[in-house]
Each structure stands twice: as C-alpha cells, then as structure tokens.
Structure 1
C-alpha cells in the first residue's frame, strides 16, 4: 500500500495522467487493483482520478467487470456504486452489461445480479453469441440469455444443494439475511485493544497471565468457530438460494415484456430440465402458463435418465405423467422408458445416497415408479440387446448389487460385534449384582432401593435388545441378496438391528449409572445428575453418527420416499 501511495505521489510530481497509463490491452492501474482485490489501492486511485472506474479496456469492459470476474465482493460493491452509466460506452449496456451480469451469476454474486437487473431491465433479455468475443469464456458457442445462464447453475438453487440430516435441520432453522453479503466484519478493533493492553502491561507476572489468557481465548475462538462456521456457511447458502429465487422471478417478469418471450422461455425451460432445476421450470410455468407445452417426452426422458426426481414429481403434479410415458416411443438403442429406467444412474446422481445398498434401493424405487405408470406391454418389449426391462435392469446393476451386498454384510458384522459385546457385559452385570447378596437370604442388599430396580430393569432390557440385535444382524448375513431384497427386506432388517442396538446401548448406560450410584452415590443427588450427564455422552455420540443413517433408512423404506412430493408452488 505504501508503494501505491509513493507511485501516485511520484506521478503527480511528474504530471502524469493516470488515465493515459495503460497496458497493451488498454487497462489502467485500477484494473490491476481490481484483479488483485486491493480495495485500499482502488480507493486511493479513484480519489486521485474519479473518472478512472469509467475508463474501459479495448474490449469495452470496465474495472468493475474485472473485480466480479475474480470474485472480489467488497471491491465489486464499491466499484458498482461509483461506476456511472452516463458515459459512452456504458459498462451496463449491451454486451458489457450482459457480460457483467453473466460474471456475477458465474461467481455467485446473486445480490449483485439482482441489483443489475432491477437497475437495468434491458439486461434481462440480452442475448449474445460468446464465440464472437475472445475474452469471454463459456462452455459452448450458443447464444445465451441471463435466464438460460441461470438455468445452468444448479448449485444456486435449493434443489441442487446436497445436505446431510443435521445440515437440513440447520437450513430450515436459520433465518435468511438478505443484507448479509453487504456487511463486512471489522476485525481491527480487537487487535488494537490487545496491542494497547500489552503496551500498558508492565509487571512480568501480569504479562504472563495476559498471554495465557490470550491463548485460552484463541482456543475458545477456534472451538466456537468450529461450531459457528458451518452454521454461518449454511445461512449464507440459504440466503443465496433466496436471492436466486428473487432474481429468477424478476428475470421472468422482464422476459414476459419481450416479444421473444416464447423463445427465451422455451430455451431456459429445456436447459433447466437438462440440469435438473425444478425451480426454473416452476417459475416459468407460473409466469408463462403456455410453458406446460414444453413438458414433453424429452423432458420426461431427461428426468428418468438423470434421476431428477423433483422434475419427475413436477411432471406428476401437472397430471401429464401417464400420457407422456405412453407417448414415449421405443429408441433403437435404449428401448422404451422402462429400459431407460433400468439403466444405471450417472455417478454424480448415484452418489447422492451413502452406501451401495441404499443406492440400489433408490434405483429400484425409480424402476418400480416408472413401471407403475407404464402400460403392461412396455414390460414385455425388448431392446436392441433382446432384453426385457427387468433383465436390462439386472444386467446394468450387477456390480452395484455386489457392492450393496458387501456394504450390507460389512455393516451387519460391525453391529453384530457391538451387540455381542454389550450382551456379554450386561449378562456379567446381571450375575455380579452391585452390592452383593444377603448371606442368609440371598436377596440383593440393595433390593429395596429404587436405583436397584432401575438397574435390574435396564440391565434386562439391554440384554434382550442386544441379543435381538445380534439375531437380526445374523439374518442379514445369511440373506439371499436378490435384487428385490434391497427394496424393503434388507433395509428393514438393518433398521431393526440399528434401533435395537441403540436402545441396548442406552439401557446399558442407565444400568451402569445406577450401579455406580448404588455403590458410591451415598444418596446424593449431584452424583446421580453427574452420572446421568456422563452416561448421555456415548449415547449422544452414537446417535450423532448413526442417527442420520437410521433416518435415511426409515425415510427410504417406510415412507413415500423421493416420489409423490409435489411442490406447494402453483403449477396450474
């Protein structure tokens, strides 16, 4: 920063004009600051020459475009506020404006994109062929509109985000902060306070104490950061999804005013279906009801081939699914729609589910769902390989069935070992009763204590449940592992094995806590409370690590699952 100040001062002395100092591409010094994200240097340059943000390169792109391209949010907002529109050429008109909007969408600056569309509505319908511009990088040579560009960004929508159970719970709980990206935390205050405190510290002992406190404070901040950072990230993601929906709504509103609305909506609709973004399809249908005509057999094939269950549910919500399935013609290579459902899902869609057994279950769900609506003649027709849909499904999933069997047996073996260990421990505890027995009567010495009754009941329940878990897991190990067993039979056994194992661990910890309390508690409440809190630790850890798998098993086996979840947003 000192170098920039000295350089600007030197140029002032020599009478050099900052606008005249350009490289071979026509870029000024502000472009370099924008590329590096150096907002202090940018402000210094702008203070020396206020017109610098409006001076474009040879390709008519301003420093604002460079800041957006390299993802510097704070500098982007600063330049956006000071870049004028009343210059020629304007950074917000035609290609420069659309390129700015495209770059904002690419790097995820959806609040900036929304602001651009609201301030310059003409950007919503601009369409340019990127092949004509060397500095614009895109994955194709086709001409795109902002709505189509947005339809290629599945990660910007809720449907394109993959969260685990705990992340989904946090996602639904955290509030949306629409001004979150506009605020920047000030981290200088605390450091200044620490420095001034160290300067005012004179005694050696106080200095050591203060350094120790700083270390403890740093450790505490790291611990809090480990908890707060994931929540903050999820909140930012939810905010981005909210901004994206607002941007989508505004784009559709502006496109409706354009004479090319039908063309733009059709292109964006097909692109949204290709990338599996139901929000795009829903908003277009809501804004332009004639878009229901775009829901043809090609969209259905995309949904089935790429396993876009939300797109399929959207088709079902319109009531057109049976008609489209019947209208699908046999392909010379693949066969009918059932053959398409029998193919193995793409890896990026298959890996959305953890475990090969659950992946196989989801594949079966897809095949059964399409089979439910398809005419019976579809099940008997053959593809190019002379395979009926069921046989094509089995052949395509041979490796996945083997992997599912391996995963299921490995999981069952782990649960069997844990359950057998618990059964051994609680059986030994039942024989060696805490406190011993009365010498004359043989009755346990603590038989009249409430804690002993809780111990006896918990120990017995833990023993019975752990043995049940062992037997259930053994039934998994000896199963036949046919393809249809992955749909209900095997997952249901794993659910019961998991539940019984979890309950046996819980009751074992209760029994252990009661035994310790009887021997050493001396009828003091604080000891009982402490033991209860400590007993919750292993149970909680088990729940945190295994509960998501249990919920996913229950959801996919005992609930409607991924199908039948029609959107609450109006379709017709």
Structure 2
C-alpha cells in the first residue's frame, strides 16, 4: 500500500481538534507493539515533522509507546531529533521498570576475534559488548534532567503522591522501583550524574541498599563497596519496623528470586550466603539489635527459614537416596563383570584368554575404575543421608558432598559403558568389527542422557560451591568508570 501511495503515512485518524489531537498511523502501530511496521513507517515519516501533521503532544505519546514496547532504537532517534521530549519523567519511570532492556548486546564471533587480535598486538579495539540502545536513551534523558535544580530533580524522582492505608506516600519512586527490580545499570547511571541519590530513603526509611538486600539483587548491593567508608553510615539505618540491613537479609526472600537455583537445599545455601555477607559488613553492635518484634537478625533468620530448611533436608535426602540406588546397581554390575571376563579363562592355568590384548587391558582398567567410583559415590551419598543438617552444613558441606557424589556417579556410569563397549571389541577383534562399533556408539547414549538430565543440577551445585565467592565484592568498579561492566 505504501509503495502505491506514500501519503498514507500522513493520513490522520481518530481524535478531534476540540478534544484530542488526531493520530498518525505510526501511533497505533507502536501502541500494539508491531516493531516491523513502526520501523518501516518511521523511516518514511520524515522524522515526525510538522508538515506530516505531527504535534509535540503526539510525538510525546509516540515516544512513550516506543519505550513501553521496548523499541528503544526508534525512541532514541526521536529523542535525538526532539531533545525536549526527553524531559518527560514518565519516560524515566517506564525505563526503571525494564531491567532486561539494559543487558549488553553481545558482539558476534568475528568482532570477538578482531578484539583478541588487537589485544595481542597491544592495540585497543574498543569494548567487546555493544552499549544497549536503552542505556544510550537513558543517558540523554538523565543528562538533561540532572542539569535542573535539586528540588525539581527530587520531585521527579519522588513520583506521584498517593494515599495508601490511610496515609500519603510515594510508592512509585523511580530510584526504588529500579532497585526493587534489580535494574542495576539504570541505578548506576543515575548515581553517576547525581551521587546524592545514594542517601535517599523511601517511605519505609530504607535506602536502595536495603532494598537490594531485601530483594537479593547483588548487583546493586555490591555498589556499597564502591562508596568506601561511607557505607558505615548506610548499613546501620533502621526502617520504620526497626529492621536494620541484617534483619532484611534474615527475612525470607520472594520465591521468584530463588527460581534460578535448583533444589531447596541450594536455595537455603543462597539465603545463608546473603546473611553471612551482610553480617560481615555490619558493625558488631548492630548484629544483636532487635526489631519492633523483639527479634535479633539471627533469631529472625531461623524463624523465617525453618520451613525452607526442612524442605532442603528432604530434597537432599531424596536426591541422595535415588542416586545411591543407581550407584549401588553400578557397583554390583561392574563387580560381577570383573570375574566374568569376555572370552573366559584358560582351563589349564586360569589366566584370561585375551589377557595380552590392549582392549582387554582397557576393559579391566575401566571396570576397576567404575567400581572404585561407584563405591565412592555410595559412601558420599551415605554421608549426606547421615548428616546433621545444621544451618552451617548447607553453606559448604552438603553442596560439596552432593557435587562429589554426582561427579563420581557420572564418571562411574561413563567407565561402566566403556567397559561394556570394549568387551565387544575384545570378542570381535578380528572380524565383524561393525558389531562392537555399533554397540560402542549406542553405549554413549546413556552417558549423554545423564549429562542432559543432570547437567543443570550439577552446574548449579558447582556454581553454588565454588562460585559463591564471586557473588559479592566484585573486582570491577562501575560507579566511576566510563564503561560499567555489571
């Protein structure tokens, strides 16, 4: 249609001169989130010029719908062309609610190779990740807002005043909405231009760091390590319920923040890691402070996580029991295979018939390794079943045992299948080699199936055991560097 009549893009529809301005076709396309149509029409729209019937209010509406629909590349073009539209506090508020929009765009493999090549010869090839369009848009908008008087900036950041439970409050504070959703890059960009935001508190007298602890957003929490000794002025702050930061770490978090962690035991471990981390930065006297309910942080943690601890014990025992059954079966099979070798024994001296064959040696070694590993797996899972299941056991002891048990079980399955496959190479070493080759290929399937089914659990256990030390205290600073890496 546009190819036959390009003027269609400028035909208004809806609205009226007396009530609402008429709308161009671009607006409903953006309203319904049709990115391809919006992109095509915008390229044909002459930058939303007045000659095509666009007005400041309709441009503003279009910009809002672009941001709302995650069409940040188009929104960026609009703001660059019409900088006055970026003054809208509503745009900033919408972007605060979109943490996923600020994820870095990964460069392709060619760009990565070029980057590595330049680094080898000592030249700088630029950042490996591309700066998201949303972040570019935020910088333009926030740079303009940050130039305004302090009172005006505070009013924008505070948001609309509403009545909640009989009292007036500001539930839509832009900074705290972003902190609650874990929009780290958004928060970092705001603080860079306006450092005073670090000290802001919400209606419950909580700073962004209290919110980060409450909702388990380590990206925002780690900013504490970049403000130096000033963090000692933030950590003791109490909210309206008498809770300090350690009390908030002791409270059970929302379920959605633990969905990425496998099993109740690892969820309990993550909660303990958070509590210990916050405890390490709190002044000693505040670790024993009581809230309005008369509970210390440790007492509150035990009370809030009692159910999760029970579920963690049940999950760990259930996993260990099932895996131990498999390990026992493997041990039984490979133990029997050690005395029923392929080809049998020489009737005169009792020596295996194929003892000089390399494939036979591989058979014996793989069988022995499988037996040792399955036995180790049985003992590891047995130790899990007989553990005390104290709180501290969930931090390192139980995850390490589970990781060891799963790893040895996987290796025992692998070596068992090697034993099985090699036994046919021993028997058919001279002719019909397609038989052992075919069986060997099929023998790989159980190993692959185990990896596919248990991969995520094993990786989560390894990450929980050895990756926990990288969860907090990041090496890279982000508040004062030109290109933050979060």
Query: How high is the TM-score relative to the length of structure 1?
Result: 0.70
Q: 1:364 aligns with which of 272, 280, 291?
A: 272
Deviates more, 1:521-530 or 1:319-328: 521-530
Residue equivalent to 1:245: 135
Q: Which residue of 2 aligns with 1:435?
A: 343
Which of 120, 138, 149 aligns to 2:94? It is 149
Question: In structure 2, do the counterparts of structure 1 residues 324 and 447 end up closer, same or farther at CA, with 3 Å as the change threshold?
Answer: farther
Q: For residues 259 and 318 of structure 2, what CA distance do their matches in structure 1 show?
A: 19
CA shift for structure 1 position 372 = 0.7
- In structure 1, the residue corresponding to 2:5 is in which secondary structure? helix
Q: 2:15 aligns with which of 40, 44, 57?
A: 57
Q: Hey, which bits of structure 1, 4+ residues long, moved more than 6 A?
A: 238-241, 523-528
Which of 323, 336, 348 aligns to 2:232? It is: 323
Q: CA RMSD in A?
A: 3.2
2:44 to 79, 82, 100: 82
Q: What's the CA shift for 1:515?
A: 0.4
Residue segments in structure 2 that go unaligned for 5+ positions in a row: 112-127, 159-172, 482-486
| Structure 1 unpaired stretches of 5+ | 1-39, 128-143, 160-170, 178-237
Match of 1:47 in 2: 5
Separation of aligned partners in 1, 2:142 and 2:175: 11
Distance 1:325 1:477 in 2: 43
The aligned counterpart of 2:54 is 91
Cα separation, partners in 2 of 1:442 and 1:77, compared to 1, 3 Å: same
For the residues of structure 1 that align with 2:294 and 2:197, how far apart are their CA atoms?
38
Counterparts in 2 of 1:70 and 1:241: CA distance versus 1, 3 Å? farther
| Conservation of the 8 A alpha-carbon contact between 1:381 and 1:388 | yes
CA contact (8 A) 1:472 1:496 kept: yes
In structure 1, how many angstroms separate the alpha carbons of the residues matched to 2:178 and 2:109?
A: 27
Partner SS state of residue 253, structure 2: coil
Deviations along 1:87-116, one digit per CA (max 9) or x if unpaired, are 3795362x3222222211222222222222
Q: Deviations over 1:8-46 (max 9, x none)?
A: xxxxxxxxxxxxxxxxxxxxxxxxxxxxxxxx5xx38x8
2:399 paired with 1:483: no
Pair 1:402–1:53, CA change in 2 (3 A): farther
CA shift in 2, pair 1:174/1:486, >3 Å:
farther
Equivalent residue for 1:158? 103
Question: Which of 185, 209, 212 lines up with 1:279 in the alignment?
Answer: 185
Cα gap change, 1:320 to 1:55, in 2 (>3 Å) = farther
Deviates more, 1:504-513 or 1:520-529: 520-529
Instruction: Quote the Cα distance in structure 2 between the aligned partners of 1:452 and 1:156.
Output: 58
Matched-pair contact (CA < 8 Å) for 1:307–1:349: yes
- Cα deviation digits, residues 478-530 of structure 1 (max 9, x gap): 22222222111111110110111011011111111110111124278776665
Q: Per the alignment, in what secondary structure is the counterpart of residue 352 of structure 2?
A: coil
Q: Structure 2 matches for 1:304-319, cutoff 5 A?
A: 304-319=213-228
Aligned counterpart, 1:37 = none
User: Is the contact made by 1:282 and 1:571 (CA closer than 8 Å) also made in structure 2?
Assistant: no
* Alignment correspondent of 2:125: none
Q: Distance in 2 between matches of 1:486 and 1:253?
A: 46
Distance in 2 (alpha carbons) for counterparts of 1:503 and 1:472:
14
Is contact 1:276-1:303 (8 Å) kept?
A: yes
Matched residue SS, 1:448 = coil
Distance 1:530 1:324, change over 3 A: farther
> Is residue 344 of structure 2 the alignment partner of residue 381 of structure 1?
no
* Segment drifting more, 534-543 vs 62-71: 534-543
Q: State which of 18, 27, 30 in structure 2 corresponds to 1:68.
A: 30
Q: 1:338 to 1:312 in 2, by over 3 A?
A: same
Shift of residue 310, structure 1, vs aligned partner: 0.9
Q: Which residue matches 2:461?
A: 553
Contact kept? 2:362, 2:422, Cα under 8 Å: yes
Render the CA deviation track for 1:258-299: whole Å, top value 9, x for unaligned: 567844578644442232211012223344555555599611
1:302 aligned residue: 211
| Structure 2 Cα separation of the partners of residues 272 and 520 of structure 1 | 67
> Counterpart in 2 of 1:354?
262
- Cα deviation for residue 558 of structure 1 reads 2.5
2:474 corresponds to 1:565: yes
Structure 1 CA distance for aligned equivalents of residues 93 and 386 of structure 2: 52
Native 8 Å contact 1:334 1:383 kept in 2: yes
Q: CA deviation at 1:306?
A: 1.0
Q: CA deviation at 1:344?
A: 0.5
Quick check: 2:184–2:220 contact (8 Å CA) kept in 1?
A: yes
Does 2:81 align with 1:119?
Answer: yes
* Distance of 1:336 and 1:287 partners within structure 2: 28
Mark the CA change 1:174 to 1:487 in structure 2 (over 3 Å): closer, same or farther. farther
Is the counterpart of residue 399 in structure 1 residue 310 in structure 2?
no
Which TM-score applies when normalising by structure 2? 0.81
Structure number having the greater helix percentage: 1
* Aligned residue pair count: 440
1:545, CA displacement in angstroms? 2.5
